[in-house]
Structure 1
């Protein structure tokens, strides 16, 4: 294949049609954005030379001509080296065409690729009046959305429910329910809520979730005797106390119809305004808020003035406590420093010759030693 054909092949790879998807209302929709698929779009010619890249990629998703996604759709991607997921559960009022723009940014070359995902939300296909929500403590939302993991969870719930006619209704991260962000350490997970529905009634084991005994055991924090769930994979085990049942087969009683009155308010008697409040003496409050702080400040000022003025040692008393030799050294250093400044500032021809600085000091030390 020559270079012209390679360039033409690369150009055709960049032109992709819209990706159509169809999902019924009331059931979970999941679309996985694979990094390896877009890797071939960014580097279409390198596969002819045997070079394969593993670039970090960031996905940006929004509804066409809108800055964000539809209210029922969410996007998650934990790391640029992992796949992204679009997921959510459309409601009956969300039926229609949803065109999603997907922008892929290559963090190595900063190339950008764009494609469109067209989601057609149709009417509900299955009636699922019996729904149950389970909490999986040792999972994260990105690890539950793949189809193979969903199948593992479905098989575990199937054994618990006693029926194979199960459908995923919703998958939600515990962070979206007000959960705390886990520590970035091994063994800490955010937790995931999975909701499944069926047209089959709940099993006898699942009905224990609604008993008063189960509620008391969960509140006490002890061992749960009614936990009959099983899990083939330990990280898919559900938390029995954070599971709930939703029986939608029972009709919801309508709200009571408001009674229509005559439109005239009942007579409540004449208005009696409250009396004026009694007079209050504010002098104690004035003493507490003004006089007492001022008195404390005055006392502190007097103490500080006594320490600063009356407790000073004084120059005469300090010199009396200082040895004569140390005082002589001090004055000699001051005189010599003054003489050096004077010699440095004047003309050398007019300045007197320096005196013998050490001779008087030696004579004084000798005299003090003899005495």
Structure 2
């Protein structure tokens, strides 16, 4: 009964998973403020393993890779960025929408499980609304001991905001943008402990700057930064050493003062002034290319012909056999011919006297090495064709039959 109830529960969960329609993730963000959406691996792990709670027990920690793009487009909107350092890390979508990005932005999220190679698709709908309130006073701070994916979590942003509140002297602060130093042309750090990419954090407020922040624009501050000395007069407090601000790379952006428009161009009469008669430039003199032709074509060609003649002379006229033949005198040639003739006559005489010498007994057919006898005369004539190896016997074996 327990097994039957278990399978019934599993079947119910499977059917319900087929009938449930995946709802879109809907987010709202105003213009000019930082938007961050965290892609949690644990949430998508449940999508790949829907019966973990039913089966009771085995919890997976699969590596996952996220790919995000705008619906019906190959990439993300220009104001939105995505980062994921490692398949075992969570992903982040972040950016600051502008006025021209008002409206709905549909983002498709594709998740690939690198253990089972299953895929899952989700949709994120970002509704960009008009700005809630203006933030004319903005400041950008550089944090050198942070990386972009370590600053995007909400708890770390809250820590940084609390430190800046003490410097700014107001609680009305909002994140405007967060940018990695690599996106600003920074160098990739060494993969060693204590080396970080660095992050630019921009915050805005409707409250004016404090005295501490205004000191960033003084000549004394700029002089100290150029010298490279340690700046210790600022009223900054950082509870976490990783969130301490590098003041020489921090700037103030005051948008409260309207920027005067550029002066309009002066409209003329539309008639060009008289510039005199047209005087075309003098044509350059004709150049003689014959010396160049001789240097680049004729001289290499003549040099190649000379080398070919030298090679032909060495190969055809300086052979070793021809030299020896030319060096031999008539007397030496006659002696050489006589020596060859004498050697030929001697070999011919030795070949003629070969028949007068008796043939060795060991080469005769049916020769007994122990007795020295030949084959009996009543043997058939075909016995002379028996091979010598077959005709011989062992040296100490008697061929006569024993009585």
TM-score category (smaller protein): 0.7 to 0.9
Deviation track 1:106-144 (CA, whole Å, cap 9, x = no partner) reads: 111111111111110000002100000001111110000
Partner of 1:33: 39
**Counterpart-to-counterpart distance in 2, 1:21 and 1:56:** 26
Cα offset for 1:185? Answer: 1.6
Partner of 2:193: 186
Cα offset for 1:67? Answer: 1.0
Aligned residues: 308
Counterpart of 1:201 (choices 208, 211, 217) is 208
Cα offset for 1:51? Answer: 1.2
Partner of 1:3: 7
Cα offset for 1:228? Answer: 3.3
Cα offset for 1:183? Answer: 1.5
Partner of 2:260: 253
Query: Structure 1: which 5+ residue stretches go unaligned?
Result: 302-371
Conserved? CA contact 1:214–1:226, under 8 Å: no
Counterpart of 1:219 (choices 226, 239, 254) is 226
Counterpart of 1:116 (choices 113, 117, 123) is 123
Partner of 2:380: none
**Counterpart-to-counterpart distance in 2, 1:78 and 1:156:** 27
Partner of 1:66: 73
Matched, 1:127 2:134: yes
Partner of 2:84: 77
Q: Residues 252 and 278 from structure 1, CA distance in 2 versus in 1: closer, same or farther, beyond 3 angstroms?
A: same
3-state DSSP of counterpart to 1:36 = helix
**Counterpart-to-counterpart distance in 2, 1:217 and 1:281:** 66
**Counterpart-to-counterpart distance in 2, 1:11 and 1:21:** 30
Cα offset for 1:282? Answer: 9.6
Q: Residues 226 and 260 from structure 1, CA distance in 2 versus in 1: closer, same or farther, beyond 3 angstroms?
A: farther
Partner of 2:272: 265
**Counterpart-to-counterpart distance in 1, 2:57 and 2:82:** 33
Runs of 4+ aligned residues of structure 1 deviating over 6 Å after TM superposition are 278-287
Cα offset for 1:271? Answer: 2.4
Partner of 1:43: 49
Cα offset for 1:11? Answer: 4.8
Deviation track 1:282-301 (CA, whole Å, cap 9, x = no partner) reads: 999999x98xx99xx9xxx9
Q: Residues 286 and 227 from structure 1, CA distance in 2 versus in 1: closer, same or farther, beyond 3 angstroms?
A: farther
Counterpart of 2:98 (choices 91, 94, 97) is 91
3-state DSSP of counterpart to 2:155 = helix
Conserved? CA contact 1:173–1:191, under 8 Å: yes
Cα offset for 1:252? Answer: 1.1
Counterpart of 1:151 (choices 153, 158, 167) is 158
Partner of 2:353: none
**Counterpart-to-counterpart distance in 1, 2:193 and 2:252:** 32
**Counterpart-to-counterpart distance in 2, 1:39 and 1:170:** 30
Query: Structure 2: which 5+ residue stretches go unaligned?
Result: 308-403
Partner of 1:304: none
Q: Residues 164 and 118 from structure 1, CA distance in 2 versus in 1: closer, same or farther, beyond 3 angstroms?
A: same
TM-score where L is the length of structure 1: 0.74
Cα offset for 1:189? Answer: 0.9
Q: Residues 139 and 7 from structure 1, CA distance in 2 versus in 1: closer, same or farther, beyond 3 angstroms?
A: farther
Equivalent residues in 2 for 1:233-244 (5 A)?
A: 233-244=240-251
Partner of 2:144: 137
Conserved? CA contact 1:208–1:226, under 8 Å: no
3-state DSSP of counterpart to 1:263 = coil
Equivalent residues in 2 for 1:318-337 (5 A)?
A: none
**Counterpart-to-counterpart distance in 2, 1:178 and 1:11:** 52
Counterpart of 2:28 (choices 22, 28, 43) is 22
3-state DSSP of counterpart to 2:211 = coil
**Counterpart-to-counterpart distance in 2, 1:272 and 1:24:** 63
Q: Residues 283 and 65 from structure 1, CA distance in 2 versus in 1: closer, same or farther, beyond 3 angstroms?
A: closer
Q: Residues 241 and 52 from structure 1, CA distance in 2 versus in 1: closer, same or farther, beyond 3 angstroms?
A: same
**Superposed CA RMSD:** 3.2
